[in-house]
Amino acid sequence: MDIYQTATQRRSIREFKDKAVPYEILEKCVNAARLAPSAANRQLIEYVIVDDEKLMPSMFDAVASWFGVSRPKEGWPPGRRPKAYIVSLIDLEAEAERGVGRTNALFDVGMAAENIVLVAEEAGLGSCAITGFSPNRLRQVLNVPAKYETALMLALGYPDESPVVEVATDSIERYMDDKGVRHIPKRELKDILHRNRFP
């Protein structure tokens, strides 16, 4: 699989198989994140890999919202929940010491997260980036020191759904059809690309 194919076929996955994720793959994802572009090479981000089955319910409960995306009325049964998480942390002390602004720190989080999801995709894993979580709850579950900001959760596991991309026409709202297939409307390239300048 080439990088373009990996990037264009990747979809956010919210339903997973009841199958453990090898730690080696998760570590590989973080190694790719470590080598992502970093503003001024300040390298403010650290990571927590969570794959302990005992922690999974608490991690899932820390998610405040799955963005209201076609959430089953009964919620996700334990067998279809993520099997691992990677949590990105911003070292606030290093951010202050190294003179890096908030925008640059968040840039680092985003660039690193993309490396994680692409490596995960190539390894056959699905992923879902989550910003709607309880920082305090997550801090308690993971025993995160005060000097870190919990910036992003990435849920991972083997996909148990196959979302479909379609051309966005009147709406970009995601929806699930009567067969349980998630549909993701995306704007067309011609609608978002400008060459050299606006007409």
pLDDT of 175 reads 78
Instruction: Express each pLDDT in 115-148 by its tens digit.
Output: 999 999 999 999 999 998 999 999 999 999 999 9
Number of domains in the chain: 2
Are 98 and 35 found together in one domain? yes
Are 94 and 178 found together in one domain? no
Instruction: Express each pLDDT in 72-81 by its tens digit.
Output: 555 567 788 9
This prediction has a pTM of: 0.88
Q: Which of 55, 154, 144, 31 lies closest to 92, judged by CA?
A: 144
Are 98 and 130 found together in one domain? yes
Are 11 and 89 found together in one domain? yes
Are 192 and 97 found together in one domain? no
Alpha-carbon distance of 129 to 131, in angstroms, equals 7
Are 65 and 137 found together in one domain? yes
pLDDT of 12 strictly over 50: yes
Domain span including residue 179: 163-199
pLDDT of 178 strictly over 90: no
Structure-model confidence comparison of residues 75 and 18, the more confident one: 18
Alpha-carbon distance of 49 to 29, in angstroms, equals 10
- CATH code: domain of residue 179: 2.20.180
Are 139 and 196 found together in one domain? no
Are 152 and 169 found together in one domain? no
pLDDT of 160 reads 93
pLDDT of 188 strictly over 50: yes
Structure-model confidence comparison of residues 74 and 195, the more confident one: 195
Of all residues in the chain, the percent with pLDDT exceeding 90 is: 58
Q: Say if strands 45-50 and 182-186 run parallel, antiparallel, or are unpaired.
A: unpaired
Are 152 and 187 found together in one domain? no
pLDDT of 35 strictly over 60: yes
Are 64 and 107 found together in one domain? yes
Alpha-carbon distance of 152 to 174, in angstroms, equals 22
- CATH code: domain of residue 151: 3.40.109.10
pLDDT of 69 strictly over 60: no
pLDDT of 68 reads 52
